[in-house]
Amino acid sequence: MFCPTFQLLRQRPSMGDASETSGNRNEDIINTTDSLSKDIDYKIDDIPPWYVSLILSFQHYLMMLGGTVSYPYLISPHLCIPNDDPTRGYLISTTLFVSGIGTLLQTTLGTRLPIVQGSSMAFLVPLLTILQLPEWKCPERNSNISLTLDETAEIWMPRMREVQGAIIGASVFEMLIGMTGLIGFLLNWITPLAIVPTISLVTLPLFAEAAHSASRHWGIAALTIAFMILFSQCLRDVTIPYFKYSSRKGWTAGRFPLFKLFPILLTLILSWSLCGILTATNVFQEGSPARTDTLLSVLDNSPWFRVPYPGQFGLPTFTIAAVLGAIAGSFASVVESVGDYYACARLSGADSPPKHAINRGIFVEGFCCMIAGFFGTACGLTSFSENIGAIGITKVASRRVIQYGGLIMVLFGMLGKFGGVFVTIPQPILGGIFCIMFSMVTAIGLSTLHFIDLNSSRNLFVLGFSLFMGLCIPSWIQSNPGAIQTGSKIMDQTITILLRTNMLVGGFIGFFLDNIIPGTDEERGLLKWRKQTRSSSTSSKKSSYELPHIKKFLERHSFFRCLPISPSYEEGSIQTKFLPIKCLKRNKSTNSTEMC
């Protein structure tokens, strides 16, 4: 069997005596995830009762609903879809439907982490750039002439097909990154000082979005934040007594951690109900963002039942410029997702994801983007940081809960009226919740700093500069959209998109500086980092990332040891830990292991 091999590219420094002399000092952080896992009520592989899972998954549905609904409203005007066109409702239900499929695929066959897949804002900038080209600008509409739905469709459908082709082309690039193990190979150089800005800048720049939503009515937003703090922090250890009956024991008393498991749902119910009462009594004036009736038109225009299907808006069209532009967004999405994987694993109290899980996660994400392209969502899919933050609030990291959430998304993607009800949640409520959850993800990124020596001026420089420039450069690019002038529109567009991605800029600067500025392994945190990742690779919790039901089949066939997305690929890394691509076979005659 032919199997590709690679030359030794980098010899990692031997830990040797250094790890032995520092062993005693590092014993207290051999596995930092243990302390996090003690605080988790339902771990990744735990299966809560179905009714608990259903309610918990409903919380995740509500958290991803805001981002999912906002994306079609952002891109629809650029697709030339009128405000009163029912196509906007179709885009929302299609996005929910595809997001549910993507969530099920990611949690079952991808990383298997409890991650929700949803519309990626990383694709928004390149797609808007494409739609702003002269040939795709919306024609001037005469207010005195009303167009039929068919006539309107002739305007926006060609634009939708162009967007679909760009997303599908970019998804092939993302699938190749995962399938070839390129993203896993780059992890050989990823250090804590590269991970901290990458994860932190996933949500840190979103303060503007959270503040914008909350500022629509600071009173309601502040009350929502107060409810979240009360339920998730102050009352987290308060349990509610209840009685249950069984034929063997009869009636017995139990205690249920209501506030700890459902802080988001309780907050939404109370804040939303209050807004509803103040709307009915006209305390909130007409046009107030805190009113619950401002988006009732979405509910009216949503169909009762509609099943999305591939090609519902026609066959996609492909152009090189559009695909290259979307690839830049896809690359930014990959960087964001890798940061989300680490953040989700740490919040879940799980081991750091192995390379095969990260490779497979990116591959599945690319496949989900391809599905989204064929269905016509006008967006790609990526990991939702909002839902990762929800894990930190609820302390529920069960994979089964997220899979239930995926089923709810698929169902509500077909029941437009039911999903449309939750679109009426006032923006200030979502803004208050986002303030809490985004801060949780940012804090998780910063928590990786415990690996490094914070008394080192070298480390402080790398950390501060990468975080600052990760905010500074994208902000400057956004304020000066025509600043990049290379003579090639495609190159200008690609560079602009990359430099506008905060986590990409900050993560790359941290990665580059930490690898070129001299520093000891102990100073850089590599001794502690490797000790954790090595313990992770031999931990029993590694099974959380294994593919179900086919583990023995994969181990039985040596071909799968060559696939970077296969769990057996990682098992051969002990003998070839210095090679980026691992592929081994057993020589029975000499009882030795050699490269394929």
pLDDT, residue 114, reads 92
Whether residue 591 has pLDDT greater than 80:
no
452 near 523, Cβ under 8 Å? yes
Are 221 and 436 within 8 A, CB to CB?
no
pLDDT of residue 4: 39
Contacts of 158 (CB under 8 A, 6+ apart): 317
Q: Enter the tokens of residue 440.
A: 């949780």
pLDDT in tens, 240-270: 887 876 677 778 887 877 887 778 888 888 9
The pLDDT assigned to 27 comes to 44
The answer to whether residue 382 scores a pLDDT higher than 70 is yes
What 3-state class would DSSP assign to 586? strand
99 band by pLDDT with thresholds 50, 70 and 90:
very high
Q: What is the mean pLDDT of residues 347-351?
A: 81
Higher-confidence residue of 192 and 365: namely 365
At 98 the pLDDT is 94
Which tokens is 196 given?
């901290």
- Mean residue pLDDT of the chain comes to 78
Are 373 and 416 within 8 A, CB to CB? no
Cα 513 to Cα 472: distance, rounded to the nearest angstrom: 17
Question: Distance between CA atoms of 485 and 496, rounded to whole angstroms?
Answer: 10
Q: How far is CA 405 from CA 104, 277, 525, in A?
A: 9, 29, 37
pLDDT of residue 498 exceeding 70, the answer is: yes
Q: What is the 3-state secondary structure (H, E, C) of 476-533?
A: HHHHCCCCCCCCCHHHHHHHHHHHCCHHHHHHHHHHHHHHHCCCCHHHHCHHHHHHHH
Question: Does residue 554 contact residue 547 with C-beta atoms inside 8 Å?
Answer: yes
Instruction: Identify the pLDDT of residue 339.
Output: 76
- Whole-angstrom distance between the N-terminal and C-terminal Cα of the chain? 8
Instruction: Report the pLDDT value the prediction gives residue 590, as an integer from 0 to 100.
Output: 47
Q: How far apart are CA 474 and CA 484, in angstroms?
A: 12
Query: What are residue 507's phi and psi, to 5 degrees?
Result: -65, -40
Are 470 and 509 contacting, i.e. CB atoms less than 8 angstroms apart?
Answer: yes
Residue 466 pLDDT grade (very low, low, confident, very high; cuts 50, 70, 90): very high
Longest CA–CA separation in the chain, Å: 86
Residues 196 and 503 sit within 8 Å (Cβ to Cβ)? no
**Which pLDDT does position 17 carry in this prediction?**
42
**Interval 174-232: pLDDT, tens:** 999 999 988 878 777 778 888 888 878 877 877 877 888 888 889 999 999 999 899 88
Residue 580 has pLDDT above 60, yes or no: no
Indicate the pLDDT class of residue 84, thresholds 50, 70 and 90: low
Please name the helix (run of DSSP H) or strand (run of DSSP E) that holds residue 52, with its range, or none.
helix 50-75
Q: 104 pLDDT exceeds 90?
A: yes
Mean pLDDT of 543-564: 80
Q: What average pLDDT does range 324-353 have in this prediction?
A: 80
Q: How many angstroms separate the Cα of 316 from the Cα of each of 76, 158, 173, 269?
A: 17, 9, 17, 41
Q: Radius of gyration over alpha carbons of the chain, in Å?
A: 25
Q: What average pLDDT does this structure show over 340-351? A: 82
DSSP state of 580: S
What amino acid is encoded at 214 in this protein?
A
Count of positions (residues) in the chain: 596
Instruction: Answer yes or no: is pLDDT of 26 > 60.
Output: no
Any idea what DSSP says for residue 12? P
The pTM of this model reads 0.72
Question: What pLDDT score does 542 carry?
Answer: 55
Q: Which residue has the tokens 């998730």?
A: 232
Q: Which of 504, 378, 366 is nearest to 126 (CA)?
A: 378
Q: d(Cα 39, Cα 260) in Å, to the nearest integer?
A: 11
Q: What is the pLDDT of residues 43-68, one digit of tens each?
A: 888 888 888 888 888 878 877 776 67
pLDDT at 35: 53
Residue 10 in tokens: 């980098």
Instruction: Tell me the one-letter amino acid at 536.
Output: S
Tell me: pLDDT of 157 over 60. yes
Residue 537 has pLDDT above 70, yes or no: no
pLDDT for res 60: 82
HSE-up of 337 (CA within 13 Å, CB side)? 38
The single residue listed with the structure tokens 């392209």 is 373
Distances (CA, A) of 36 to 3, 29, 562: 40, 12, 34
Over pLDDT 70: what percentage of the chain?
82
Whether residue 507 is predicted with pLDDT greater than 80 in this model: the reply is yes
Helix axes 192-203, 427-447, angle to 10 degrees: 170
What gap in Å lies between CA 121 and CA 118, rounded to an integer? 9
Q: What is the pLDDT of residues 301-328, one digit of tens each?
A: 777 888 899 988 888 998 887 887 788 7
Looking at the DSSP bridge assignments, the partners of residue 382 are 118
